[in-house]
Structure 1
Amino acid sequence: MNRRRLAPLLVALASASAMQMVSAGPVLNGFDLAGASIPIQAIERGGPPKDGIPAIDRPKFVSATRARLAEEDRVLGITLDGITRAYPLRILNWHEVVNDRFGTRAIVVTYCPLCGTGMAFEPPASTGVSGFGVSGLLYNSDVLLYDHTTQSLWSQILSAAISGPLVGTTLTAVPLTHTTWADWRRRHPATEVLSTDTGFERDYGRDPYAGYDRVQQLLFDVQHRDGRLPLKEWVLGLRVNGAAKAYPFSVLERTVDSAGRMTDTLGGQALLIRYDRANRTAEAFDAQGKALTGTLSFWFAWVAFYPRTDVLRAP
């Protein structure tokens, strides 16, 4: 979609945000913001109300051979406890949260279309078994989740509760791969795939955010901007031992070797970065080959949360 065609979406969402921004009072979308760990005035309504974007609480899965996906479709892939699953973005664009189970382990799969961030978590026991939902609120243009048990708000990128009874509690990240369906299926031919039989009527063949990644504009405000990279440059963001670093795809193109690899050190730890040009994905591993929980995102989102982040430079 070109900029002219995207303009109505930009105007509508920005207008809705302007009218509904926090102006007074510690309650928004039904959430008590008293004692929030982030500036209350920086929390915005995204447009839909609480649960206006419905989470998938009873996910169904189909085999790879039955999945109706194009080779280039993006998916979030997880392998855990002998179970391998793919979550197509064409579904997550409409739901943003999937409350799933890998054997006995509860896993919350999340996606923010505005930031391009797919992240999965193992929720703490204090959130109970009722799962997470979409609050309809944003911080730094990123989705704020909430848990049904305590009604605490959680920042996806911070991976922590920012208000409510569990404020300050962190989420345990689960490594995932953000790649194409062709790449994930090649790696895991026996993968299960989230079914479009979600219990909701949505046009999963249509991308409601089509063209957003190519427009150098934001629909919602962020607390920090940084001109080192274009707003929507894709980066692999890593945090190791308190140190943050962004690996821009445009720099990885010129930095990795013929096998798509490069080594680096972050927070005193040796890293191996793998970059796949064909499938536009990047992953990080420690010296023992264990996958690290990196985050693929637009540059603006990563630097909004980690203003002091280092950035990989071309040699």
Structure 2
Amino acid sequence: MMPNTSARPPRFTTPLGTCLRWLLILGLLLWGIPGQTQTRLNGFNLDDALIPAAELLPGGPPRDGIPAIDNPGFIDAILAPRDEVIGLAYQGETKAYPVAILNWHEVVNDYIGGQAVAITYCPLCATAVVLVAEHQSQPLTFGVSGLLYNSNLLLYDRQSESLWPQVLAQAVTGPMKGLVLPTLPLSLTSWQEWREAHPDTKVLSADTGYFRNYERDPYREYARRNALMFPIRNQSRALPLKEMVTGLVINGEARAYPHRALRNQTSPLYDTLGGERIRIETDTNGQPRFFNDKGKQLSAQPGYWFAWYAFYPNTQVWEIVPPAR
């Protein structure tokens, strides 16, 4: 989460007054106004949440302080070969969403192949998820709540104001609590890789209607340091915290596939997860794609190792198995 640079800082007369003021604000956020019983944060009702309400933390900006893109435009752009994009191919249509833009917006509400989708990216976790943004045949639109759980973006749908941890794609509060939305397979890869595979792709335009410097990466230094800004529930040093992996869950069994280990492998590879045989294809960046035995591509979760482990502490880590002699 980036700070809301448009907000004017409060003015207080003494350090003690500042401290007392912030304690009062925090108390009102966490415990509500006297006479009310609801637990609220950033305006969201956290009563009976499926995750510990005390572990939902403000990320800096208020609700919608990071604005979602609701009317995306697309162009025939040429990006730098190594520019990172979220690539999406669905129902014969292909689109690329530059991470340089998503760093500043985190959510794009869009349609592809006639399907309502929400393209989401959490810069703190480097996690990308494309939600099928529909419930009971009605489209959903998503915004940025300004809250985090396990350092991960908490989305909210504007229809019910339920909160959704991005990695889980599940509502954890509100009227939709417990609902899990389907996700679509995506590629978090370089522009060169995506363009070569999909030469007719459209690219999200930087003409978003917001004044942002999309050439500046506000998370550059954060990505270089093997340290976190916010606490997480589960942590493992089996891999560096910010090593890129792609996580996959089949029949309740979770596994993380490190991109570094996959980068020099010859495709295809094969694995068994949750009792099912899967085929793994990789690009030159080590970004894997997974297919079942019927050739259907499976939806998987790219991101930093710490983010995957925080939500799936029982995960295994894929290792290269030498051939039997």
Of the three residues 71, 75, 79, the one matched with 1:58 is 71
Q: CA deviation at 1:274?
A: 2.0
Whether 2:295 is the aligned partner of 1:289: answer yes
- Residue 163 of structure 1 aligns to a residue whose secondary structure is coil
Q: Within the alignment, does 1:164 sit opposite 2:164 as a pair? A: no
1:120 paired with 2:130, answer: yes
Could you tell me how far apart the structure 2 residues matched to 1:134 and 1:231 are? Answer: 24
1:272 aligns with 2:279: yes
Q: Which runs of 5+ in 1 are unaligned?
A: 1-17
Corresponding residue for 1:75? 85
Tell me the residue number matched to 1:151: 161
What is the CA distance between 1:128 and its match in structure 2? 4.3
What letter matches 2:186 in structure 1? L
Aligned to 1:245: 255
- The corresponding residue for 2:198 is 188
1:125, 1:99 → 2: CA distance?
Answer: 15
- 2:223 match: secondary structure: helix
- CA offset at residue 60 of structure 1? 0.3
Structure 1 pair 23–150 and aligned structure 2 pair: CA distance change class (3 A): closer
Aligned residues of 2:262 and 2:286 also touching (Cα < 8 A): no
C-alpha displacement at 1:127, in angstroms? 9.1
Query: How far 1:313 moved relative to its partner?
Result: 2.2
How far apart are 1:192 and its partner, in Å? 0.6
In the alignment, is the contact (CA less than 8 A) between 2:155 and 2:165 conserved in 1? yes
Query: Residue in 1 aligned with 2:59?
Result: 46
* Residues 52-92 of structure 1, C-alpha deviations (whole Å, 9 max, x = no match): 000000000001xxx15211000001111211100000000
Specify every segment of 5 or more residues in structure 2 that has no aligned partner in the other structure, as ranges: 1-22, 33-38
Q: How far does residue 125 in structure 1 lie from its aligned partner after superposition?
A: 2.2
What CA deviation, in whole Å up to 9, does each residue of 1:112-139 have, x standing for no partner?
Answer: 0111111101123259446110000010
Query: Per-residue CA shift, 1:143-178, capped at 9, x if unaligned?
Result: 000011111111110110010111001111111111
Query: Displacement of 1:314 after TM fit?
Result: 3.4
Equivalences for residues 130-141 of structure 1 within 5 A = 131-141=141-151
Structure 2 Cα separation of the partners of residues 225 and 297 of structure 1:
15
Q: Indicate conservation of the 8 Å contact 1:233/1:299, yes or no.
A: yes
1:280: how far off? Answer: 4.0
1:166–1:187: structure 2 CA closer, same or farther, 3 Å change rule?
same
Does the Cα contact within 8 Å between 1:127 and 1:147 map onto a contact in 2?
Answer: no
Matched, 1:261 2:264: no
Q: Distance in 1 between matches of 2:113 and 2:267?
A: 34
- 229 and 279 in structure 1: CA distance in 2 versus 1, 3 angstrom threshold: closer
Q: What is the distance in 2 between the residues matched to 1:270 and 1:280? A: 20
Does the aligned pair in 1 maintain the 2:169–2:180 contact within 8 Å?
yes
CA distance in 2, matches of 1:273, 1:241: 18
SS in 1 for 2:297: coil
Among 108, 131, 134, the residue aligned to 1:98: 108
Aligned-CA RMSD value:
1.9
What letter corresponds to residue 273 of structure 1 in structure 2? Answer: I
**In the alignment, structure 1 residue 28 sits paired with structure 2 residue 41:** yes
- The amino acid of 2:208's aligned partner reads T
- The 8 Å contact of residues 76 and 118 in structure 1, kept in 2 or not, is answered as yes
Q: Aligned runs of 1:204-219 on 2, under 5 Å?
A: 204-219=214-229
Amino acid at match of 1:272: R
1:185-242 Cα shifts (integer Å, max 9, x gaps):
1011110100001111100111110132221100111100112111111111000111
Counterparts of 2:139 and 2:168 in 1: how far apart (Å)? 22
Provide the residue aligned with 2:10 in structure 1.
none
Alpha-carbon deviations, 1:15-38, whole Å to 9, x = none?
xxx996975451000000011000
Q: Which residue of 2 aligns with 1:9?
A: none
The structure with the largest alpha-carbon Rg is 2
